[in-house]
Amino acid sequence: MIGDACPSSKCADCGFRSAVFASLNAGQLEMLTSGKTFNAVKKGATICKQGEEIKAFIFLRVGLAKLVRNTTDGREQIVGIATPNDFVGLLSLFSSKIYQYSIIAIEDSEYCSVDYSMVMDLIRGNGVFAQSLLEKISHVSDILINTRLDLDLRQLRGRVAFIICYFANEVYGATKFNLPISRKEIAELIDMRVENVVRILSELRRDNIIRIEGTTIDILDPEKLKWIKVHG
């Protein structure tokens, strides 16, 4: 499960290149290729653990993961969802020596780890790369903060609608999808209690706004759902 070769062994061919590594030259890409580690993990696997030393820069290539924070009083809080190409792994990379959050796969996933010191060398040696990394990390942080602020303004109905829209629009790009997280995890993600998540989902179903079949959610009335997300 650890340290497999990357399917396309050259990082130059990897889909990620366009995203952050576009500015690297041939030599730097070669360094990256030989220094990275490819990993494939099953749903539920821990990719990195809160509190442990940061040794690598983590890239989600395929799949889905949750960022989890264990609070001092023993509760769990889901900080956000990491999707391929969004560089959530960057989050506290430069501000701390230890991971602020755990990253746990919520779908079968593939990711690459790039040695921390190698990334630092690339930053110092390539200003354009540094700039693009600044833009990425800034963007990821901004989205996270703005999402949180948006959620804070809403009451529970609006938060649940928000999260359904999020998975539909941002993650799956479809009105019908498999919810990758449990009711309890939804609760941890939007700061509410399991019972209320369930209750509100039931209400949305009763009002024919969504259909729930097992783990599948089907949005029947996107307009009404959006209205609840904004006003409710």
Partner DNA sequence: TACCTATTTTGATATATATCAACCTTGATT
Partner DNA sequence: AATCAAGGTTGATATATATCAAAATAGGTA
* Contacts to a copy of itself by CB under 8 A: 69, 71-73, 75, 77, 79, 91-96, 100, 120, 123-128, 130-131, 133-135, 137-139, 141-142, 144-146, 148-150, 152-153, 191, 230-231
Residue 202 interacting with DNA (CB under 7 A): yes
161: enclosing H helix or E strand: helix 156-165
Gyration radius of the chain over CA positions: 19
Q: Total residues contacting DNA (rule CB under 7 A)?
A: 18
Rounded Cα gap, residues 226 and 224, in angstroms: 5
Cβ 151 to a copy of itself, closest distance in Å?
8
Q: Which does 120 bind (CB under 5 to 8 A by kind): DNA, a copy of itself, none?
A: a copy of itself
Q: Given the complex with DNA, which of 64 and 90 has the nearer CB atom?
A: 64
Rounded Cα gap, residues 206 and 152, in angstroms: 26
Q: Which does 72 bind (CB under 5 to 8 A by kind): a copy of itself, DNA, none?
A: a copy of itself
Residue 192 interacting with DNA (CB under 7 A): yes
Q: What share of the chain is helix, strand, coil (3-state, %, to 5)?
A: 45, 25, 30
* Both tokens assigned to 139: 């963007």
